[in-house]
Amino acid sequence: MPFIGRWHLFALSGCLSAWAGLEKHSVVPLVVLLIYGVYLAMRKHFAFLFTLLTIFFIIQLDIVYFQTNQSQFSGAEESVQGRIVGLPQVNGDQLTFQLKTDSGESMLIYTKLRSKKEKSFLIRKLKPGMPCRVSGKLEKPPSPTNFHAFDQRQYLERHHIYWQLRATSIPIVTDGSPNLIERMQRLRQNQILFISDHFSTTSSEMMNALIFGADDQMDDELVSAYRMFGLVHLLVVSGMHVVVVFGTLFYIFRRLGVVRDYAMIVMIVLIPFYVILTGSEASIIRSGLTAMIVLFFGLTHYRLPVSDPISLACLLMVVYDPNIVFDLGFQLSFAVTFAVLIGGPTVLQRYRSRIIRSIILSLLCELAAFPIVVFNFYQLSLAGIFLSIFFVPFITLLVFPLGTLAYFASLFHLPFVDFLSFLLDLVLYIPHRLLLFLSNHPLLQLNYGALTGWEAVGSVLLVAVALTIWEMRNGVRSNAVLLAPFLILLVWVYTADYLQPMGKVTFLDVGQGDSILIQLPHRKGALLIDSGGTIAYEQETWQKRKKPFEVGRDVVLKELTALRVNRLDAVFLTHRDTDHIGGMKGLIGKVGIKHLFISPYHDPDHEDLRLMRKMINGGTQLSFVKEGMTIKIGETSFYILSPNVRSTESNDNSLVIYGVMGGQRWMFTGDLSQQGEQKVMEKFPSIKADILKLGHHGSRTSTSERWLEQLDPKIGIISSGKNNRYGHPHVEVLDHLKARKIRTLRTDQLGAIAFYFTNKKIVHVRSAVHP
């Protein structure tokens, strides 16, 4: 196939990657692949078409007849035994490790650590390959309860893990007899602990990531910054490390007079050990296999086309485990490497300036990863293209060699550690501060949101067309066309939003709390009523997680990003309880807020005031609202029905918001109690509501029978946490709703609940969890 045809091969691989991520839209890439097959037939590429169909047929046979993607456990088992797989992970007071049971099935084990001493003991006691017995309760991994939340159950099932066990006691382990792979994994674990014990936090995190592939220890905020700018691959052991390590090793062998073929054979033998020592992630497996294939054919003096080694590596990995195609690291690793291999020679031939070469090559990598990154993370920063010009050589040529030197020097002479650790900290300080600063002040950050099936596949085709045009033509215009996919897709998705005639009211699942997002039709406005919040409990330092769950950042912000809500026209905070406003700290500075509406009786504490000042400094207008006021967003009016005077009961200071959307009357009541309901009924004796958000999460102190009688709602929404300690919603409230035949929708049962509406009616209702 001519060189230009390989971009069509890239389009095919991109469509397959999209297919891997689009289970619910698999018909979309299937149609694209069918069109591509017709194209190959028309161009008379029959050999490639036959190969494509053969591979597709073999994979389908494997999936249907040979893959056993189901569990052997019933879920009633109270204890399991097997061998520890990989490195146990400790995060605060939680120990997690993978157990390969005696039946051969893998399982995820969670253990709550009881003391700092127990934590320190288990970190060093538990090792890969140890026979282990653990008692507890088997659970299915959780499914997402919000529309765009991470699907842990699907993720684990794709890694052949169908159960997780919550241990009721610490694991019982014996030393056992580890095999060769387990010995290598133990060596890796010991060296990771050695580095963590002897180097500073900054140095040890970077060294463990670059040398042993243990990036889970790195600061989450820093990793997020690397990910935001498309630089996270620099923290993963991959082809760069293989080239540097084994290139250096080959040079040493040759300088020592070792025959070329013998040196290559030694490296083929050593590469699998290096893959195990560095964590055996998809990226390093790909790099190791590709290197071994190149070396093997180098011994035979058979010249392979540049794309064949990586293609063979891909086939070997897929044959071993077809589920590997769902792995994000696998998709990104092959897409980016393929783009570099195919586009690199053209870049070297066409451009003389090293800076221009770096920019174009970085742009090619961004394009290759673009459909995958946007589909999974919703956002892309073009600033990463320019940052990579510095960070790629900085990490590759300075940090990685320096970290490796520091590690080996420490093995021979520990007093070197303090100086080398200080030196590495110094080298990393300014670049990391710069990354963190830019991540908090996004530059050229593009938010594409959650893509539909056609948009995802369209992004692949846009990239393929842009690369084809770039390859065919030379000059400034051909370089500019490489930016076209980023901009065209952005215009595409936002145009679709403005043309969308439906609005949406989404009751997010924020656990025991409230957060309601309203999006008006044709993108005419977006507002948030409360933000949920996580109640913090006092913990000792050793118990604290590296990145504790925070509702605002981990739920509300993620949903806003997925829905392309970059700016909220209004935020209503009904009252100052943490479960209603605590999530705001995760939104401020991340999403624009035009107006903040609170009650005059909100009574903010010092932390609330600090956040409000930050919002005002960011351009937010703060307004106090109370009974009788009207807030107009777009063409929709929202009426404030309460409060009018300060109440001694905090919940009765809640804002009560009333509006008409989709031809239905909506009532949002915060934590309004029965006394507050009585005041609203006295002030508005003829008020009705078709859809009622029940007050105080369905507590018996709210939602009186008289309230239901007057409002006469058709649907009642209860926002409460699953198995919450307050017993919400109360059985009396549920009985009242049932007696009046009011359809009850609960976030603790259904997860997030979304109402889609036009100007005249409710079109349909969806929930994140299907009962």
> Is residue 2's pLDDT more than 70?
no
Report CA torsion sign: 425, 428, 429, 435.
negative
The residues near 559 (Cβ < 8 Å, ≥ 6 apart) are: 146, 147, 148, 506, 508, 517, 752
Examine the fold and report which residue of 379, 412, 447 is the final residue of a domain before the chain moves on.
447
Taking residues 455-484, what's their average pLDDT? 85
pLDDT band at 236 (very low <50, low <70, confident <90, very high): confident
Taking residues 224-242, what's their average pLDDT? 84
Q: Is residue 71 in a domain? A: no
Which pLDDT score, from 0 to 100, does residue 624 have?
Answer: 95
- Among 51-65, 73-87, 175-189, 616-630, the range scoring the smallest mean pLDDT is 51-65
> Is residue 210's pLDDT more than 80?
yes
Mean pLDDT, the chain, integer: 88
Q: Is residue 287 in a domain? A: yes
The C-alpha atoms of residue 316 and residue 310 are separated, in whole angstroms, by 10
What single-letter amino acid sits at 528? Answer: L
Which pLDDT score, from 0 to 100, does residue 26 have?
Answer: 57
Q: Same domain for 404 and 432?
A: yes
Report pLDDT digits (tens) over 531-548: 999 877 788 888 888 888
- Cβ atoms within 10 Å of 53's Cβ, excluding its own: 12
Using CA atoms, how far residue 477 sits from 154, 213, 386, 466, 481, in Å, is 43, 40, 19, 11, 6
Bin 13: left if φ > 0, else alpha if -120 < ψ < 50, else beta.
alpha
Examine the fold and report which residue of 382, 414, 447 is the final residue of a domain before the chain moves on.
447
Q: Is residue 85 in a domain? A: yes
Q: Same domain for 244 and 138?
A: no
Taking residues 665-674, what's their average pLDDT? 95
Taking residues 321-347, what's their average pLDDT? 84
Q: Same domain for 196 and 336?
A: yes
Instruction: Express as a percent the part of the chain with pLDDT over 70.
Output: 94
The residues near 566 (Cβ < 8 Å, ≥ 6 apart) are: 447, 560, 591, 592
Q: Same domain for 149 and 266?
A: no
Which pLDDT score, from 0 to 100, does residue 68 have?
Answer: 63
Range of the domain at 465: 5-66+457-497
> Cβ distance 458 to 489 under 8 Å?
yes
What single-letter amino acid sits at 690? Answer: D
**Helix (H) and strand (E) counts in the chain:** 28, 23
- Cβ atoms within 10 Å of 370's Cβ, excluding its own: 23
- Cβ atoms within 10 Å of 179's Cβ, excluding its own: 12
- Among 317-331, 347-361, 382-396, the range scoring the smallest mean pLDDT is 317-331
Which pLDDT score, from 0 to 100, does residue 23 have?
Answer: 52
- CATH assignment at residue 635: 3.60.15.10
Which pLDDT score, from 0 to 100, does residue 5 have?
Answer: 45
> Is residue 24's pLDDT more than 60?
no
Which pLDDT score, from 0 to 100, does residue 3 have?
Answer: 38
Taking residues 121-149, what's their average pLDDT? 92
- Among 13-22, 196-205, 210-219, 509-518, the range scoring the smallest mean pLDDT is 13-22
> Is residue 293's pLDDT more than 60?
yes
3-state secondary structure of 641: strand
pLDDT band at 362 (very low <50, low <70, confident <90, very high): confident
> Is residue 14's pLDDT more than 50?
no
The pairing of beta strand 131-139 with beta strand 172-173: antiparallel
Distance of CA 349 to the CA centre of its chain: 38
- CATH assignment at residue 147: 2.40.50.140
Per the structure, how many domains does the chain have?
Answer: 4
The C-alpha atoms of residue 713 and residue 690 are separated, in whole angstroms, by 4
Taking residues 437-462, what's their average pLDDT? 86
Q: Is residue 72 in a domain? A: no
> Is residue 1's pLDDT more than 60?
no
Q: Same domain for 361 and 479?
A: no
The residues near 642 (Cβ < 8 Å, ≥ 6 apart) are: 626, 627, 652, 654, 655, 656, 672, 676, 679, 680, 683
Report pLDDT digits (tens) over 591-611: 999 999 999 999 888 989 999
- Among 350-359, 519-528, 649-658, 714-723, the range scoring the smallest mean pLDDT is 350-359
Q: Same domain for 508 and 640?
A: yes
> Is residue 63's pLDDT more than 70?
no
Using the structure block, give the residue that is written with the tokens 């033509």: 473
pLDDT band at 357 (very low <50, low <70, confident <90, very high): confident
Q: Is residue 161 in a domain? A: yes
DSSP line for 533-598: --------GGG--SS---HIIIIIHHHHHHTT--EEEEEEE----HHHHGGGGGTTTTSEEEEEEE
Examine the fold and report which residue of 176, 210, 239 is the final residue of a domain before the chain moves on.
176
Q: Is residue 212 in a domain? A: yes
Backbone angles phi, psi at 177, to 5 degrees: -120, 95
Taking residues 220-242, what's their average pLDDT? 84
Where do the H-state alpha helices sit in 146-213?
152-158, 180-198, 201-212
The C-alpha atoms of residue 698 and residue 201 are separated, in whole angstroms, by 47
> Cβ distance 281 to 213 under 8 Å?
yes
Is the model's pTM score more than 0.85?
Answer: yes
Element (H, E) at 517: strand 516-519
Which pLDDT score, from 0 to 100, does residue 21 have?
Answer: 46
Which pLDDT score, from 0 to 100, does residue 667 have?
Answer: 97
The C-alpha atoms of residue 55 and residue 181 are separated, in whole angstroms, by 31
Q: Same domain for 99 and 47?
A: no
Adjacent-strand bridge partners of 504: 519, 756
Which pLDDT score, from 0 to 100, does residue 32 have?
Answer: 65
Q: Same domain for 602 and 467?
A: no
Q: Same domain for 442 and 464?
A: no
Q: How wide is the angle at C-alpha 524 spanned by C-alphas 523 and 529, nearest 5°?
A: 95
Report the range out of 383-392, 540-549, 762-771 with the highest average pLDDT: 762-771
Cα atoms in the 13 Å half-sphere on the side-chain side of 655: 32
Q: Which of 340, 320, 341, 317 is nearest to 329 (CA)?
A: 317
Q: Is residue 584 in a domain? A: yes
Q: Same domain for 90 and 172?
A: yes
Q: Same domain for 272 and 363?
A: yes
Q: Is residue 540 in a domain? A: no
Instruction: Express as a percent the part of the chain with pLDDT over 90.
Output: 51
The C-alpha atoms of residue 706 and residue 685 are separated, in whole angstroms, by 12
Report the range out of 170-174, 245-249, 731-735 with the highest average pLDDT: 731-735
What single-letter amino acid sits at 215? Answer: D
- Among 40-49, 170-179, 344-353, 595-604, the range scoring the smallest mean pLDDT is 40-49
Q: Same domain for 379 and 461?
A: no
Please give the span between the terminal C-alpha atoms of the chain, in angstroms, as a whole number. Answer: 51
Report pLDDT digits (tens) over 396-431: 889 999 999 999 999 888 888 888 899 999 999 999
